[in-house]
């Protein structure tokens, strides 16, 4: 394809002062024109080049598309065959387009969401053959097999359509909930703070900004740099273009930030500042084990080997459990928090920490707690023992025990044991 010359035409698309006659990616070819007659002249030129080089284009795989409104009196295009029909959609270098103005990439979102969902279900289905995946292994599979579909083409297909973006978000949320063992009512933010995975909306924006930084660093003669300069001119004229779409996407973020006008190309430092502002939500949370900020990271408790124990911990930490403090929130008749009493002792509000460390409603629970303390003393170091002995708040004690490596597994086993015991008794609903 190196010697392919379709030839300049008066109806060529012009970027800057460079006419764009055709584009190639390996053996995939696009020819562009702004008029039906111009396109036919290019088809004829392409046919002559193929004849000279003893080549035949695959007509079956060839697509003719019109972007925007279909003009009246459209002629029949001749390309090896008397009549080459028009298509409403087409795929080039993996991106699926449709000709309708304002929704060019919608079919691409549909395709990628469907493929990502199928791959995610296959990964989850493997657990019936190999057993439960450890969360870190499942995340590695997600990043290798699902994430590429969710982010495919995000550098150019900016998320201006909330419905289309929602298709991708739905796939990511479903996979992460399955990974953590959480239900449909789980809080969305914990899916990301506990796994270290970015919400797909932010990940796609960051990749798009990274692409803009790459484009800004390109040489002035490169076509992509010429195109982005055209975008700045269109932005200054308030005409739709890629940079205007980027501004729209940034403006929809749920926090205040300084968005450039993009009337001129931003510098690499300015783009880095934009990227940094996206990440401010990932700051400020402190890991109790280290005292270091860690708002969004893979949590150590997800390394608990026993899947049932691990999921019990995850459900409690993310408030996706079925103790009264949460389950009565969804009762037909609302129950005030102060009335959500423990099903065993009926004295205090039923929370996970109350069940584990305070309730003495039945002797069996007290016996299991005593056994837990004995195991804890055997597994914990002297430093850990001193640390937990100074804690007198049950909720803080629970989070600390789960965050420390030498107490984590013992606590998870005890929590699962307490959950099983409470499940044997009906929840107390005040009348």
The answer to the question of residue 270 being in a domain is yes
Same domain, 58 and 17: yes
Same domain, 337 and 258: no
pLDDT tens for residues 55-104? Answer: 888 888 888 888 888 888 788 888 766 656 788 888 888 999 888 767 89
What's the confidence (pLDDT) of residue 294?
A: 59
What's the confidence (pLDDT) of residue 231?
A: 95
pLDDT > 80? residue 177: yes
pLDDT > 60? residue 426: yes
Same domain, 334 and 379: yes
Q: Is residue 274 within 8 Å of residue 208, measured between CB atoms?
A: no
What's the confidence (pLDDT) of residue 76?
A: 81
Same domain, 415 and 340: yes
Can you tell me the mean pLDDT for 147-173?
96
The answer to the question of residue 341 being in a domain is yes
Q: What are the backbone angles phi and psi of residue 78, rounded to the nearest 5°?
A: -105, 125
The answer to the question of residue 174 being in a domain is yes
Distances (CA, A) of 66 to 39, 242, 266: 11, 20, 33
Can you tell me the mean pLDDT for 332-341?
91
Same domain, 322 and 412: yes
What's the confidence (pLDDT) of residue 422?
A: 97
What's the confidence (pLDDT) of residue 279?
A: 52
Can you tell me the mean pLDDT for 140-168?
96
Can you tell me the mean pLDDT for 411-419?
97
The answer to the question of residue 296 being in a domain is no
How far is residue 46's CA from residue 6's CA, in Å, rounded to a whole number?
A: 6
Of the residues 197, 216, 236, which one is the last residue of a structural domain? Answer: 197
The answer to the question of residue 430 being in a domain is no
**pTM to 2 decimal places:** 0.87
The answer to the question of residue 128 being in a domain is yes
pLDDT tens for residues 274-321? Answer: 887 655 444 444 444 444 445 788 999 999 999 999 999 999 999 999
Residue 355: band (very low, low, confident or very high) from pLDDT cuts 50, 70, 90: very high
Q: Is residue 288 within 8 Å of residue 152, measured between CB atoms?
A: no
Same domain, 328 and 416: yes
Residue 191: band (very low, low, confident or very high) from pLDDT cuts 50, 70, 90: very high
What's the confidence (pLDDT) of residue 333?
A: 87
Same domain, 270 and 369: no
What's the confidence (pLDDT) of residue 277?
A: 65
What's the confidence (pLDDT) of residue 257?
A: 80
Domain tally for the chain? Answer: 4
The answer to the question of residue 287 being in a domain is no
pLDDT tens for residues 2-58? Answer: 778 888 999 999 998 899 988 888 888 899 999 999 999 999 999 888 888 888 888
Of the residues 197, 216, 244, which one is the last residue of a structural domain? Answer: 197
The answer to the question of residue 414 being in a domain is yes
Same domain, 339 and 395: yes
Same domain, 192 and 211: no
Provide the residue range defining the domain that includes 169.
106-197
Same domain, 210 and 193: no
pLDDT tens for residues 243-265? Answer: 999 999 999 988 778 888 999 99
Same domain, 124 and 70: no
What's the confidence (pLDDT) of residue 281?
A: 41
Of the residues 197, 219, 250, which one is the last residue of a structural domain? Answer: 197
pLDDT > 60? residue 323: yes
What's the confidence (pLDDT) of residue 176?
A: 97
How many whole angstroms from its chain centre is CA 288?
A: 27
Same domain, 368 and 401: yes
């Amino acid at each position: 394809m190196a010697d392919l010359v379709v030839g300049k035409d008066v109806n060529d698309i012009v970027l800057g002062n460079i006419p764009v006659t055709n584009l190639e990616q390996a053996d995939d070819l696009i020819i562009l024109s702004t008029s039906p007659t111009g396109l036919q002249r290019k088809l004829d030129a392409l046919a002559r080049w193929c004849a000279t080089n003893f080549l035949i284009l695959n007509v079956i795989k060839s697509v003719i598309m019109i972007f925007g409104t279909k003009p009246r009196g459209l002629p029949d295009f001749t390309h090896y065959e008397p009549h080459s029909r028009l298509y409403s959609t087409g795929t080039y270098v993996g991106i699926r387009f449709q000709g309708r103005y304002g929704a060019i990439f919608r079919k691409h979102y549909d395709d990628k969401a469907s493929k990502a969902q199928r791959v995610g279900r296959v990964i989850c289905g493997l657990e019936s053959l190999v057993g439960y995946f450890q969360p870190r292994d499942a995340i590695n599979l997600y990043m290798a097999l699902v994430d590429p579909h969710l982010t495919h083409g995000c550098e150019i297909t900016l998320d201006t359509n909330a419905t289309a973006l929602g298709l991708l978000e739905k796939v990511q949320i479903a996979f992460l909930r399955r990974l953590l063992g959480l239900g449909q009512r789980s809080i969305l933010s914990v899916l990301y703070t506990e796994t270290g995975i970015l919400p797909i909306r932010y990940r796609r924006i960051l990749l798009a900004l990274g692409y803009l930084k790459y484009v800004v660093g390109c040489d002035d003669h490169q076509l992509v740099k010429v195109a982005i300069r055209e975008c700045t001119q269109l932005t200054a004229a308030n005409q739709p273009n890629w940079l205007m779409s980027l501004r729209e996407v940034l403006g929809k973020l749920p926090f205040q930030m300084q968005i450039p006008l993009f009337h001129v190309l931003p510098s690499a430092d300015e783009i880095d500042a934009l990227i940094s502002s996206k990440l401010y939500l990932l700051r400020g949370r402190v890991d109790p084990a280290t005292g270091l900020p860690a708002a969004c990271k893979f949590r150590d408790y997800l390394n608990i080997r026993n899947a049932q124990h691990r999921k019990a911990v995850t459900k409690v930490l993310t408030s996706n459990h079925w103790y009264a403090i949460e389950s009565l929130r969804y009762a037909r008749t609302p129950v005030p928090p102060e009335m959500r009493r423990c099903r065993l002792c009926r004295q205090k509000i039923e929370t996970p920490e109350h069940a584990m460390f305070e309730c003495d409603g039945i002797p069996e629970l007290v016996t299991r707690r005593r056994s837990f303390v004995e195991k804890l003393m055997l597994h914990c170091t002297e430093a850990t023992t001193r640390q937990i002995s100074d804690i007198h708040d049950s909720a803080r004690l629970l989070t600390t025990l789960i965050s420390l490596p030498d107490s984590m597994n013992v606590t998870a086993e005890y929590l699962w044991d307490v959950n099983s015991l409470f499940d044997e008794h009906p929840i107390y609903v005040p009348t």
